[in-house]
Amino acid sequence: MAVASERSITVDVKPISPEEIATLAEQTWSPLPDLNLEYLWDAMARGFQVIKVGWLTRYGPAYGGPAILFVVRNAEGKEGATLVAPGKKVAEFIRQNLEKWKRNGVPFERWEFLTQTER
Amino acid sequence: MSAFELALVILNLVITAIYAAILWVMVQQRRLMDEQLAAMQAQLREAERTRTAAHRPVLRVEPPIFVPAALPMPPIEMRRLRNIGVGVAMEVRYFIHERGTGIIWVRSSLDPIGAGEFSQEFFIPQQLLALDIALIVTYADIFGNRYWTLYHFASQTHSFGEGEPEHLQR
């Protein structure tokens, strides 16, 4: 059973340029930079490929701050997703794989969570 | 054997008997003290249990909240925790891990949750629901005692425990 939240939350999804995600990842301060990146690497080592990259304005792994969402899929069609906290390593990781992802047609999205105060 | 030697032997025997009696009394006292100590420790443990039980937080995972997103994207699923215990839950951390492989897809932390209150919403990427995942929440009461809650999404079941969850220890 699903319930409606007392707070109204909506998400606004817009396309964003991959360079902008890399810049945001590098320049945004995080209390735990690059958190969860090793889990993404672990998944990629087990045959998962990145199929979507998103910049989340909230609900990240480090104290609910901003995050980079990586949606991954393996050869069996199994999908997973990892939220990575912004940091220098993840920015470098995005820049390294940028060309490959562009060739594969990976979409880049900005997910803005809008929360209204409690009624 | 002269009468004097006999007297000496008897005296020795008497002294041995006295020493043995003293030793026996000391052993008995020691045994009594051990019993009293065990009883006192049990009483202390019981008092500690009562004290923590009166402040014990219990976290339960609430049904999902669907947040509308721009079309044609499906709504995004958010979750919240509710503290159904009697004390505040501190140092709330959560992990979403895939069962079987042990890979952790998301880990994060939440603000303290008061008794009867809801936590902030947190985001679960919907792709994860295709995997066999479980949510583990670890938290502490005001005395620093740690607890955990495991929520298995597929069967919608909770399990609760004290201390650190063993399956997260390496």
* Sequential DSSP letters for A42-56: HHHHTT-EEEEEEEE
B83-92: average pLDDT = 93
Residue B113 predicted with pLDDT over 80? yes
The confidence score (pLDDT) of residue A5 equals: 55
B43-47: average pLDDT = 94
The per-residue pLDDT for range B138-163, each reduced to its tens digit, is 999 999 999 999 999 999 999 999 88
pLDDT in tens, chain A (119 residues): 445 556 778 888 899 999 999 999 999 999 889 999 998 998 899 899 999 999 999 888 888 889 999 999 999 988 889 999 999 999 999 999 999 999 999 999 999 988 776 55
**A116 and chain B in contact, CB less than 8 A:** no
The confidence score (pLDDT) of residue B170 equals: 43
CB contact under 8 A, B65 and A2: yes
Residues of chain A contacting residue B117, judged by C-beta atoms under 8 Å apart: none
CB contact under 8 A, A63 and B122: no
Residue B10 predicted with pLDDT over 90? yes
The confidence score (pLDDT) of residue A117 equals: 65
Residue with tokens 């945004």: A28
Q: Are B93 and A32 in contact (CB under 8 A)?
A: no
Distance from CA of A101 to the nearest CA of B (A): 19
Number of other residues whose CB lies within 10 A of the CB of residue A100: 11
CB contact under 8 A, A61 and B106: yes
Query: How far is the C-alpha of A69 from the C-alpha of A111, rounded, in Å?
Result: 9
Which residue in the set B103, B110, B122 is minimally distant from A39, CB to CB?
B103
Q: Could you give the ipTM of this predicted complex?
A: 0.75
Looking at per-residue confidence, does B67 or A116 come out higher?
Answer: B67
Place B168 in a pLDDT band, splitting at 50, 70 and 90: low
For chain A, give every domain's residue range.
Answer: 16-115
The confidence score (pLDDT) of residue A9 equals: 81
CATH number of the domain located at residue range(s) B59-168 in this protein: 2.60.40
Residue in A6, A83, A117 to test binding to B, most B beta-carbons within 10 Å: A83
Distance from CA of B170 to the nearest CA of A (A): 16
Report the percent of chain B where pLDDT is more than 70. Answer: 96
The confidence score (pLDDT) of residue B105 equals: 86
Q: Is A32 helix (H, G, I), strand (E, B) or coil?
A: coil
The pTM (predicted TM-score) of the whole model is 0.75
* Cross-strand bridge partners of residue B47: none
Question: In degrees rounded to 5, what are phi and psi of residue A38?
Answer: -65, -30
